[in-house]
Amino acid sequence: MEHKLIQNQSQQLILSPQLKQYLKLLQLPLIDLQQSIEEELSQNPVLEETLSEPEEASELSVDDSIDDGESKDSAQSSDGELDRTLNELNDLDNDYRSNFNSQNDFSGESTAQLDKKKRYMESLLTNQNTLAQYLEWQLNLHSLTEQERVIAQEIIGNINDDGYFASSVEEISETTKTKVEEVEKVLKRLQTMDPPGVGGRNLSEVLLIQLKRQNSTPLAQKIVTDHLGLLQRKQIDQLAHALLTPKENVINALKVISKLEPKPGRVFYHDEPISVIPDIILIPNENDEEEASYHIEINHERIPELRINQKYRKLIRQKDIDAKTKAFLKEKIQAALLYIRALGERKSTLRQIAEQLVDYQKEFLKHGFSHLKPLRLKDVAEKLGIHESTISRAISGKYMTCPQGTIPLKNFFSNSVASTDGESQSQKSIMERIKQLIDEEDKKHPLSDAALVEQLKSEGIPIARRTAAKYRELLKILPTHLRKFR
């Protein structure tokens, strides 16, 4: 082994600090951007929110921040780079205000006009009862002994989100120090509560509870009790043979069973509430209804207007400031400038992307997803002269409020599928057509994937059967044999 000095030549992409800051802010959704600004304001003392009106910007010029006794010559004799930085501040103030208060963003309009035009779709968040809370409420309507109430509460604590009893009577018996028979008795009582089927220990019992409450036929009850496997595979002939009954009786029983709820707790499912704030708002031009043109507003209502604090500008140009303080302020001012510029560039990029989407997807904005044209990130990137990855960052986690609702920006993009007439169809528009065909199908004779392919082919959209099956699965639509009895 020996030590050597080896010289290698390589190519590396090195991003400038300004570009890094821009890309970082570009990919942040509006809520995250607000948090980023709050953090930057807390960490950088020279950065502050602008509380004054735009017309007062002239009072914030660099010249006004210099002491009366300090001449221009002495200012120009300071560090050249710092001087150039400071001389940019006034222009930056004016440009930033102009950007935030441009007529394109309607910030010069009255509050009444803004309230009329803006189309926020804000969720009304309410507290929803859980399955356990609903069962305990019903429990209070029953006459139970203290011991039975303890057992019932223990059972409820072991019912999962699907409504199944996820423990065993033996475990509950041991926990409550009671007999197994007593636990079984209370469990049966809980199984009479709503939602129907709650407290079942398995799928068979859940379905059986519901059938008994409906006073259903013994045949249906026997199928879910003894032949659940054949039921799940829809093997009608085998069921008829095993139950020694005509096939028609089995089909009628399956129709009843298909209407049952395999997960009784499903009615209490609810996602965690998500508040979506659109980054872009399209406002229809009321004076141009035929062309369906739109005003594009970048939603910066909740984004504060930033500037460099005047006191620090004045301090850094004083003659008697020590070197360490001057270096510190210079670093912070440069960081603040980068941040403010990156915010402006982020807004500009979002506007350019929105303009391209509105121009290209006019039919979608009028008629919905069935008219969505195929559009790739690469297409927009080439139009704007920026990298495809920048478009990807810009649309990540962003939403646009438009006539079709508040939609993720990524939904405006879709791969193309060539049609027989030479035009291209987007994947989303094909999926929308498949959904429409299935919604309109004869429920007694549902369309197979092959039939869907033939129908689409007759409309000039040739796709493979496996592609149709893939799109159907993405739409969460059951296959033919499972739709037949629903």
Domains and CATH numbers, the chain: 131-268 (1.10.10.1330), 416-486 (1.10.10.60)
What's residue 239's pLDDT?
A: 80
Query: Closest Cα to residue 309, out of 93, 95, 22?
Result: 93
Burial category of 383 from C-beta neighbours within 10 Å (exposed 0-12, middle 13-18, buried 19 and up): middle
Which string of DSSP letters, residue by residue, matches 157-201? TTB-TTS-B-S-HHHHHHHHT--HHHHHHHHHHHTTSSSTTTT-S
3-state secondary structure at position 347: helix
**If phi over 0 gives left and psi between -120 and 50 gives alpha, with beta otherwise, what is residue 425?**
beta
Whole-angstrom distance, CA of residue 463 vs CA of residue 455: 10
Amino acid sitting at position 467? T
Q: What is the reported pLDDT for 84?
A: 58
pLDDT score of 165: 87
Retrieve residue 268's tokens: 């209490």
What does the pLDDT read at residue 263?
85
Nearest to 65 by CA among 456, 333, 244, 256: 333
Letter string b/e over residues 241-279, b meaning 16 or more CB atoms within 10 A of that residue's CB: eebeeeeeebeebbebbeebbebbbeebeeeeeeebbbb
Rg of the chain, C-alpha, whole Å: 33
- Could you identify the residue written with the tokens 């259903």? 216
Neighbours of 297 (CB within 10 A): 23
Query: Which amino acid appears at position 480 of this protein?
Result: T
Please tell me the predicted confidence (pLDDT) of residue 349.
Answer: 92
In angstroms, what CA-CA distances link 76 with 86, 314, 332, 337?
11, 15, 21, 21
φ/ψ of 402, rounded to 5, equals -145, 180
**Contacts of residue 191, Cβ cutoff 8 Å, sequence gap at least 6:** 197, 198, 199, 200, 209
Angle at alpha carbon of residue 153, lines to 147 and 156, rounded to 5°: 145
The per-residue pLDDT for 89 is 53
Please state, in angstroms and rounded to a whole number, the distance separating the CA atoms of residues 344 and 209. Answer: 62
For residues 133, 138, 141 and 147, what is the CA-based torsion angle, rounded to 10 degrees?
A: -70
Whether the Cβ atoms of residue 89 and residue 313 lie closer than 8 Å to each other: yes
Q: What is the pLDDT of residue 106?
A: 37
The whole-number pLDDT of residue 118 equals 40
State the pLDDT at residue 287. 64
Longest dimension (CA), the chain: 110
pLDDT tens, position by position, for the chain (486 residues)?
Answer: 677 777 776 655 456 777 888 888 888 888 888 889 999 999 999 989 876 444 343 333 333 333 333 333 433 444 555 555 555 555 555 554 444 444 344 334 444 444 444 433 333 334 456 788 888 888 877 788 888 888 888 888 888 888 888 888 888 888 888 888 998 998 998 888 888 888 888 888 888 888 888 888 888 888 888 887 877 777 788 888 888 888 888 888 888 888 888 888 887 775 555 567 888 988 887 665 555 678 888 887 778 888 888 888 888 888 888 888 888 988 998 899 899 999 999 999 999 999 999 888 888 888 776 677 878 888 899 999 888 888 888 888 888 888 878 888 888 886 655 555 445 556 667 777 788 888 888 877 888 888 888 888 887 777 777 788 887 887 778 777 666 655
Strands of 42-133 (E only): list them.
47-49
Per the confidence metrics, is the pTM higher than 0.85?
no
